[in-house]
Structure 1
Amino acid sequence: MLQSLYEFLTAAVGNSPLEWVAVLTGFACVWLAARESLWNFPVAIVSCGIYIVVYLRAGLYSDSMLQVMFIALSVYGWYEWLYGGRGKTELPVSHTRRREWVVCVLFVAGFTAGFGYYLEHNTDATVPHWDSFTTAGSLAAQYLLMRKRLENWWLWIVVDIIYVPILWYKQLYPTSALYALYLGLAVYGYVQWRRAMRKDELLLKLEPND
């Protein structure tokens, strides 16, 4: 029993300092995104780079690949937030368009089925379809965040709820706890972004018409 407790505590504090660096930078990244800070993008690039190694070691191959995609999307999102508005101005918070919802749903369903099948039959992945679903959901959420769509936080909430038990099962306890914190940050981000969007809408109404 003492041996089991020791093994649990060892895993709980992280299998390596690398995971803790990834956890701390990951938390900072989401908090900065919730605050609409551009600094979330460079911090995200660092965190994702570290998590590539962490997830490979844990056998979460789809999630490791996801980090590569996140790095590319972070670079693009950084540009979009700066120059994606009208006249290459700062991008405002807005609602997700119907076409974007359709594309996101079709992408998540197709990726989950296709890549989940590949992982199940060609790798030693332990939770292939759940791994694929969280990967696809995260990519869809990141795309909406990149476009500053308010509803990106809804997707993050769903993904985080699923990630917590998966990462716990894989004995990545610090990262599992991080995703539990992400749930709170996702709610906080939604409230902050909705407030910012309403403020922008009010200012737009108050602008004099030419």
Structure 2
Amino acid sequence: MSWLMWLLDARLHIAGSEILWREIVGNGFGLASAIAGMRRRVVAWPVGMIGNVLLFTVFLGGVFDTPQDKDLWGQAGRQVFFFAVSAYGWWRWRQTRARGEVADGGAVAPRWATWSERLVLLALAVAGVGVFTVVFTLLGSWGPLPDAWIFTGSILATYGMARGWVEFWLIWIAVDAVGVPLLLAAGYYPSATLYLVYGGFCVVGFVAWLRAHRRLAAAAVPTPADAVAGGGPA
């Protein structure tokens, strides 16, 4: 178990600051998961879950006695919810892939959420930010309001990815816009850097899913040639 002890305590020294290798490795798994998610590959979920476990220990800096002594309960707590929602996404994408429901071989067919689904997302976002701001304040979280939005938005974005909603990329962009300044101020520099990278990556992912949605929708529309081949209307 020496490798595990090394991973728990290994640190990188940069310009007089100490950064945990756990934070770097955990975010590396997160980036790999995002790339696989953009390509709609099932492996995105288990890879992301490994990163969740590592980052959970990182963001409870005071509890685990890490160089960053600030406890970001929202950042840590969302890793637990990520793990749970990722298990659901892993199951859902595997089922879709096994049934061969997506014409281009992806594990999910991207689509826009319906207006009713969007209203539910909005209501959950407002309620989640309100409730978790209070909870994280009581827990002593550093920056409870932005922490609450990052927590709530991240869960909604992950669920949206599992459902195949194109909008989940836009939610991630809104999360990153808040996460970068918060993490920089708290001293979590690798995570802040990755959030910045994620912001640009999410734009690319959004375009990729939008194109896939349009391509699959066009392929599902019968052409005049298909109608003739099928004998036309009865």
| More helix, by proportion | 1
Look up the match of 2:67: none
1:179 aligns with 2:195: yes
| 1:116 positional shift | 0.7
1:171–1:189 Cα change, 3 Å: same
Amino acid at match of 2:141: A
Amino acid at match of 2:28: L
1:50 aligns with 2:54: yes
1:166 aligns with 2:182: yes
Distance in 2 between the 1:68 and 1:88 partners?
31
Matched residue SS, 1:145: helix
- Cα RMSD of the aligned pairs, angstroms, is 2.0
4+ runs of 1 displaced by more than 6 Å? Answer: none
Gaps of 5+ in 1: 1-6
Q: Sequence identity, in percent?
A: 25
Amino acid at match of 1:74: S
Q: 1:19 aligns with which of 12, 16, 23?
A: 23
Look up the match of 1:189: 205
Larger RCO: 1 or 2 (CA < 8 Å, sep 6+): 1
Distance in 1 between the 2:82 and 2:193 partners?
21
Structure with larger Rg: 2
Amino acid at match of 2:109: P
Cα deviation digits, residues 183-210 of structure 1 (max 9, x gap): 1110111111111111111111146355
- Conserved 8 A contact 1:111-1:132: yes
Gaps of 5+ in 2: 1-12, 62-69, 103-107
Counterparts of 1:6-85 in structure 2, within 5 Å, are 9-11=15-17, 15-57=19-61, 58-84=70-96
Count of matched residue pairs:
201
Amino acid at match of 1:169: A
TM-score by length of 2: 0.80
